[in-house]
Amino acid sequence: MAVHEGQYWGSCHCGAVRFRIDAEIRELTTCDCSLCARKNALMTRVHDSALTILAGEDALSLYQWNTGRAQHYFCSRCGIYTFHRKRALPDHYEINVCCLDGFDASAVPVRGVDGLGMSVVADGARAEWPGPREAKR
């Protein structure tokens, strides 16, 4: 699974984006927000200091929606979601554990996160974006 305890290497499908995380993975999360549900994300949370992008930072595409605080990163070449900076915890990333080399997700407990209940604050929000509506500030 890992070369050293607490170190995991990962990449997108084409290998353009490569990264390492230095963290103990004790829990995985799924989120039922409209974006995570569509990308079928299985994630682990790490502090931003635990993520090191080794290659391909220039190949990352950024997707932001709703409040614009969360930053979702995808490889611009193969389209794989690698990680995102969290809206509710902006000094942390959620890492797509399916991108980690040799990682056995079946050995780690999974917790569901309520994304459906997060507020939608966006002009022209799509009906597919569930959650309570708030006026844009």
Residue ranges of domains in the chain: 7-113
Domain 7-113 has CATH 3.30.70.260: no
Q: Please give the Cα distance from 25 to 132 (Å, whole number).
A: 32
Q: Which of the pair, 127 or 102, is modelled with greater confidence?
A: 102
**pLDDT, tens only, 24-50:** 999 999 987 778 888 888 999 999 999
pTM score, whole prediction: 0.79
SS3 107: helix
CB 64 within 8 A of CB 72: yes
Residue 21: pLDDT above 50? yes
Q: How confident is the model at residue 53 (pLDDT cuts 50, 70, 90)?
A: very high
Residue 21 bridge partners (DSSP): 8, 51
**pLDDT, tens only, 86-109:** 878 889 999 999 999 999 999 899
Q: Please give the Cα distance from 96 to 100 (Å, whole number).
A: 8
